[in-house]
Amino acid sequence: MTEVAETKQERIARRQVDKFETRRRELAVATLQTLADLGYARTSLREIAQNSEFSHGVLHYYFADKRDLITQAVRQYEEVCVTRYDDVVANAGTAEELRNGFVDMFFGTLKADAHLHRLWYDLRNQSLFDESFRNDVLDIDGRRQEMIWRVLSRYAELSGTEPATSQATAYATLDGVFQLALLHQLSEMDDQVAGLAQELTRLLDLLVAK
C-alpha cells in the first residue's frame, strides 16, 4: 500500500510540475509581443503586466524576474525559428531553387517578425553584460548556427561543391547580414534592404568552394 501511495503521490507531483511548465509556456507566448515592443531595458514584470491581460502577481508567481520570462519567451520563439528553412532545404531540387527559397524566406521573416528578431538581438547583447542567461543565449545561438549550416551544406551539395568556410564563420557572416538588414528594416530603409537581398544571393556562392 505504501508503494502504491508513493506512486500516486509521484504522479500527482509530476502533473503539478507539468501544469506549472505548461502555464509558463502559455504566459511566455502571450507576453512575447509586449516583450518585443518594450525591449529588455524598458521591461519589468510590472510593465509587462500593465501591457497585457495578466496581473503582476500571476507573472511573478510563474517567473522569478524579467530575465526568466524573456529567456523563456525567446527560447520558445527560437524553437520554431531554428527549423524555419528545413522545408526549403528538403524541397529544393536544384541549387538555384534552394538559393531563391532561402533568400525569400530570409527577408520574409525579417519583415514579418522584425520586432521579435529585435528582441533576440537585444537579449544576446545583454548577455555580454549579464552572465545569468549567457548559457541560454549560447545554446540558442548554437541551434541557429546549425540551422544555417544545414542550408549551406545542402546548397554546396546541390552545387557540386563544398562549403568554403567553417560552420561558425558561415553563421557569423549570414547573421551579420541579417542584423544589418533588420536595422534597415526597422528604419524603413527599403532600398538598403533590397540591396542586401541581392548581396545575399551572391554571398551564398562565396561561401561554397568553386
The torsion of the CA quartet 148, 150, 127, 199, rounded to 10 degrees, works out to -10
Q: Domains in the chain: how many in total?
A: 1
User: pLDDT tens digits for 150-200?
Assistant: 999 999 999 999 999 999 999 999 999 999 999 999 999 999 999 999 999
Task: Indicate the DSSP class of residue 93.
Answer: -
- Total Cβ atoms within 10 A of residue 42: 8
Asked if the structure places residue 80 within a domain, the reply is yes
The pLDDT, as a whole number, for residue 149 is 97
Residue 21's pLDDT is 87
Position 81 in a domain:
yes
Range of the domain at 175: 65-209
Nearest to 61 by CA among 19, 103, 12: 19
Q: Which residues contact 111 (CB under 8 A, 6 or more apart)?
A: 185
Residue 16 is predicted with a pLDDT of 63
pLDDT of residue 30: 81
Segment 128-143, tens digit of pLDDT? 998 888 998 999 999 9
Question: Is pTM beyond 0.85 here?
Answer: no
CATH number at residue 78: 1.10.357.10
pLDDT averaged over every residue in the chain:
88
Domain-located, residue 59: no
Is residue 50 one of the residues assigned to a domain?
Answer: no
Q: Reply yes or no on whether the pLDDT at 96 is more than 70.
A: yes
Q: What is the pLDDT of residues 2-12, one digit of tens each?
A: 555 557 556 55
